[in-house]
A and B are shown apart, each in its own frame.
Chain A
Amino acid sequence: QKEVEQDPGPLSVPEGAIVSLNCTYSNSAFQYFMWYRQYSRKGPELLMYTYSSGNKEDGRFTAQVDKSSKYISLFIRDSQPSDSATYLCAMRASSGSARQLTFGSGTQLTVLP
């Protein structure tokens, strides 16, 4: 079983829809949670960065972390064709040698105009 599970999709939605992307994880040591966006043939770009449980909002993006359920989500409101990309969740522990990020496998999103 992978430490981080992410529905690979693909996910296709009409422009203006609300998109929900999710990851589950098994390592209770994870404290920092991130969402990256990766366009085709490009490197990942950091979208959201949260610590521990709770919500964080940035424009059309909202990240939620529920540590009790080991579940994180990214919501995209008023989705645009330019949001079409692969979305990767990532997480890491807070200390010790495990400072590397552990990524999900990514969800491919297409927003249709």
Chain B
Amino acid sequence: DAGVTQSPTHLIKTRGQHVTLRCSPISGHKSVSWYQQVLGQGPQFIFQYYEKEERGRGNFPDRFSARQFPNYSSELNVNALLLGDSALYLCASSFGTENTGELFFGEGSRLTVL
């Protein structure tokens, strides 16, 4: 069975640009969450989506947005990139919203902002 897949795996952008990261959850999982992991730190919650609706949002500026599609895949968009946005962006899926403890993570998209 395929796990959580994310694309692209690596990308380099310059300040002020926009980036779109994509995630496909495990088959049958309806909830997708996004986390940002800065080097040397633990992941920090950005968004959770369930059945195409936003169910939670972390302490991130409005430059960060996301959406979930009818097939439960998801996109994370970041506008007006800053150097501090350089991080590993992790997508995680779970069957529902309650058992978010049993999150299954993808391998991440590593974003470098120059």
- On A, residues with C-beta under 8 Å from B are 4, 6, 8, 32, 34, 36, 41-46, 49, 88, 90, 92, 97-106
Total contacts A-B at CB 8 Å: 64
Q: How far is the CB of A101 from chain B (nearest CB, A)?
A: 6
B87 on the A face (CB < 8 A)? no
Q: Which residue of B lies closest to A51 (CB)?
A: B101
User: Which of the listed residues A8, A43, A97 has the most CB atoms from chain B within 10 Å of its own CB?
Assistant: A43
B interface SS class: loop
Residue total for B at the interface (Cβ-Cβ under 8 A)? 27
B90 on the A face (CB < 8 A)? yes
Would you call A42 and B43 a contact (CB within 8 A)? no
Question: Roughly how many angstroms separate A46 CA and B4 CA in the complex, as a whole number?
Answer: 13
Q: Which of A43, A102, A105, A106 contacts B108 (CB 8 A)?
A: A43
A32-B101, A41-B107, A99-B56 given; name 10 further pairs at CB < 8 Å: A8-B40, A43-B105, A45-B105, A46-B101, A46-B104, A90-B101, A92-B100, A97-B56, A101-B103, A106-B40
Complex contacts, B44 vs chain A, CB 8 Å = 103
